[in-house]
Structure 1
């Protein structure tokens, strides 16, 4: 019987068939958490090893933030881990570990303070400390943003109330209040406070505030940067989100539940110029975040969510159970791209488009699918089913796959074959 690291044979096969595999997904989440903690420890080791290259004040703030994070974890482990698991924490870690010594690294290191403050506030810890606010802004990971126009802020937290004000401010003016109503939640009032907005019916957030939500150079080609909050039509995002989940629930309730569990944040992308086509992306360092321009319809949103969730699933699996080897320069042509792709890109594309093919296969026969989507699903299925088949042959002929990667590809191929015929014509 094949076992792939901590995954049992059945879990591994179910993931390959693009199924939710509840136990398998739980294993992936546990693996991701462990990997993130290792990266965080690696950053601490780097700071201590390169202590002579880091300004003393920056190093001291980093060490103090580390101790605060440990304090929050002791107070409420689940809440502290939610902050560490949030997608932008992973994006920050990747940027900090890759930053060259000097000003860039020091700038990245200051972020740990705001992460630790968020965890401590959510955990209900009493606080009285001074925090750095780059550009006058303090970002609270997965919660919101304080814009008070001061580079240093005083944070005082007692019981259920938190006061944040410019360092040295006197009296009630010039600051804002946050409430801690319990269960690790924070709510804010007052000028300078902007909260992340929850997407309807789920725990996911519309994140248009976090400074690490999109890499500095943007994503995609042409490059898309993060949309500013002022340019984000929250109502349109809510409408697409609600409609997408209704459609997914009608067609495949199990997959709808997987999307609800998997997506922690949706990050709106700005347009790259007039006539720009919608795009979406995920970041390997930030699983659980879907970066996207506003989809044209709920149907497009549903397809985007399924597509990007499977990119994140495969990236998480590869961290836990390597599917292919690193360092090879060979590239391959696949049907859905005009540019040749390395084997990692082929693998990602196969998995995401196999999941979409499964969705379209179900939509064709689903009573709850709108007729216009059923028609489109039939057309898309026929096109991509053929392209995925060709790309699967590339994978299985490659010498770049690991043993586990080859077995996973065989399971994908068997699932692809099971979708070989649409379940009845559209009448």
Structure 2
């Protein structure tokens, strides 16, 4: 159970060693290293084949679930379409059946055209583009050798990537900071291009050649980024910004998204055009030949490269930092900064970053701002107000409104957790210690603990105990929550946790397989990883072990990060069986990759075509639990007891996944509303009703839930019919026609039930207004006929199955539904 040997999962493959621009801040051509002069301009086919084999050899030996390859330069597009195709084909060949391949290219964009984009679409290559902002900012450094601007060509490249056929290829924009540029102008120019991500980079510098600090300002880079952060934050953080997201993640105890922050060991190597292995390109700024390893793809393996002293030095996490950094209050977020930025002649890399004051200021400012926002959010947490309830009644709801619902749900979880603790055996030391740690964590690091308590499957566990169904899990559940909370702080607490049938459950983080039948395990987390001790054996697991882990006993929750939405693929929690369909077993890395790709496309569709539901998805769905549908049908579910979770079997298309998500998020929102407000009179009504989307009779609250969800279903097909073509458009129109009229029919039953409270009447009236807007939209006679025929067939089948309830047919229109009639 020892920690596995380090491995490499990220590879920069140089396709061309020259560039068509002459950027004066380029680390390849304008800094200390001059090795590019002696290398071939274009990588050879032999080198590509050998590189692919070396990567596959390493991936197979280390059982890597995925490898990430960036085609780079110089300018990689200078290699031409044929050579780029050959690179992709060789990598795909070698890695087939070994690891999933995430293939990208980073370009200055000036040569990007439709031929390249068609090639990248065929081969699945995502494209990142370098751009320093508006024209004035970009032209400060990114020019041709004759001084001409590159800005117009780059804008054309981004416009091309934003076309519908190519948008899925767009990986984001990379911007190198110059503090002489206006930060607002730079940020606004980049955001206006609608990239999926922005990456701000500090300019490369060392203690020998420090970065410019105009007018002697102590922290000009932090000040520049602080202006951008505030503008980004005020706009609702509309686009992921890697440096900000990395700081925020590390402050929460999660991993960084960039090598320039955090304590994760280096897992990247560069392959030059001649096949030589080099360390990170950024080291070219330190001294001539600084990245060199003396090894190449023809004579050496990647494990040989890992044994190079320079690579070993960057595998040691906190221990590889100098004393000043190791004792710093923000070291978990800063991680000493980019390795190259620590260099000084005489002491090598045993120094803080040359940007140390800026990193300290930036991280501290973000931390303090987040703390202030958390206090503010806590002050206003509680049930939504009347205006926000009207938003939700319409079927939609802003991010702030759904976040208020989430805050109220978190309070409910805390109340349930406290009630469970009262039932814990008083003499049980494990339970007592766990509760005491929970109290301490809540007082000192509440954000970390709230993340665990808000885990969707906390409440189902608590309710089972309070209902007397699982009293034996009180101690294990309390200890699991305490351990997961402590792990998120990484401050060194040791927690004893009962093991569930060979599985150590760490809610919101993952599960660890414990060999044998040991009843207890000890868990201790620090900035580099965590340790599990059980029956005299010790298991060390690093935070850097990747989304699928490098050891078979560690099953971390995979996080799918999308612009504006982060969702966990929860296939590890043994308590996730809160839905009416069986849950899927642990996904393979290939299955997880397919889920991630479909989620990316579904989220893009929701943002573009159904933006009214996007805030609810982003704020209300934190977990997606894969289901297993034995017959291959499209099934999905949401449980009122598991706020924040949506469960689904992966459908055939990403469009259908988008439909399932917006359908289920309606249930998530309405379930939270019903926890805070009485919309129905508590009179014990036992009548059951026809629901046009179900084969069984439904109680009134179930009909209300289904009707609210079918607002989204109707809207989906309404939008699809306008964007689809041919047979797909006709099919979408018929479905819109059917669900529009069937939703009207169902909402009439709810409105006319006589069992709505005054607040319930107001809420249902809001639902009516939304559906009513669609009643005037034209639908062809063919679509109407098909919709009515489909509805009648369903009704007839339902009455055959449920003859006792056939008397409830043909509901009369409610007076509130002006201009609308039921299907008759």
| TM class, shorter-length | 0.7 to 0.9
- Higher helix proportion (structure 1 or 2): 1
- Residue of 600, 625, 642 corresponding to 1:242: 600
Aligned to 1:20, the other structure's residue is in SS state: coil
1:213, CA displacement in angstroms?
Answer: 0.9
Q: Write out aligned runs for 1:293-304 (5 A).
A: 293-304=649-660
Secondary structure (helix, strand or coil) at the match of 2:566 reads coil
Map Cα deviations across residues 231-271 of structure 1 (whole Å, 9 max, x no partner): 78223212221221122222133423432332111111123
- Under a length normalisation based on structure 1, what TM-score does the superposition of the two structures give? 0.84
Q: State how far apart, in whole Å, the 2-side matches of 1:45 and 1:98 are.
A: 14
- 1:155 maps to 2:523: yes
Superposed, 1:347-426 pairs within 5 Å as 347-366=704-723, 374-422=729-777
Residue number in structure 1 paired with 2:669: 313
Per-residue deviation at 1:301? 0.2
3-state SS, counterpart of residue 36 of structure 1: helix
Structure 1 position 213 matched with structure 2 position 576: yes
After TM superposition, list the pairs within 5 Å mapping 1:150-189 onto structure 2. Answer: 150-169=518-537, 174-179=538-543
Q: Which has the higher contact order (CA 8 A, sep 6+)?
A: 1
Q: Give, in whole Å, the separation in 1 of the partners of 2:576 and 2:527.
A: 31
Equivalent residue for 1:71? 440
- 1:72-131 Cα shifts (integer Å, max 9, x gaps): 22232111101111111122222222234xxx3113441121111000110233223432
1: CA distance, partners of 2:575 / 2:750:
34
Choose the corresponding residue for 1:328, options 685, 708, 720: 685
Secondary structure of the 2:501 match is helix
Cα pair 1:178 1:189 within 8 Å, conserved: no
Residue in 2 aligned with 1:114? 480
Deviation for aligned residue 1:71: 1.8
Aligned-residue Cα RMSD (Å) equals 2.7
Structure 1 pair 246–187 and aligned structure 2 pair: CA distance change class (3 A): closer
Cα distance in 1, alignment partners of residues 551 and 467 from structure 2: 37
SS at match of 1:110: helix
What pairs with 1:50-69 in structure 2 (closer than 5 Å)? 51=425, 56-57=427-428, 60-69=429-438
Distance 1:98 1:364 in 2: 47
Partners of 2:560 and 2:596 within 8 A in 1: yes
The structural deviation recorded for 1:167 is 3.5
Q: Is the 8 A contact 1:72 1:125 kept in 2?
A: no
Residue in 2 aligned with 1:21? 398
Q: Residue 553 of structure 2: which of 159, 182, 192 is its match?
A: 192
Go from structure 1 to structure 2 and tell me whether the alpha carbon gap of 1:17 and 1:190 turns closer, same or farther (over 3 Å shift). same
Structure-2 change in CA distance of 1:230 and 1:312 (3 Å) = closer
Partner SS for 1:233: helix
What residue in structure 2 maps to residue 92 of structure 1? Answer: 461
> How far is the alpha carbon of 1:423 from its aligned partner?
6.3
Q: 2:492 aligns with which of 126, 134, 153?
A: 126
Aligned to 2:317: none
CA distance in 1, matches of 2:572, 2:410: 24
Q: Deviations over 1:290-327 (max 9, x none)?
A: 11111121111000000000001000000011211343
Other structure's SS at 2:543 match = strand
Counterpart selection for 1:80 from 431, 440, 449: 449
Q: TM-score, normalised by structure 2?
A: 0.45
1:364–1:423: 8 Å Cα contact kept in structure 2? no
Closer, same or farther: CA 186–197 of 1 in aligned 2, 3 Å: closer
Q: Report how far residue 186 of structure 1 moved.
A: 11
Distance 1:154 1:384, change over 3 A: same
Q: How many angstroms apart in 1 are the aligned matches of 2:593 and 2:727?
A: 24
1:144 maps onto 2:510 in alignment: yes
Match of 2:702 among 339, 345, 349: 345
Distance 1:343 1:300, change over 3 A: same
**Could you tell me how far 1:168 is from its partner in structure 2?**
2.6
Structure 1 counterpart SS, 2:686: coil
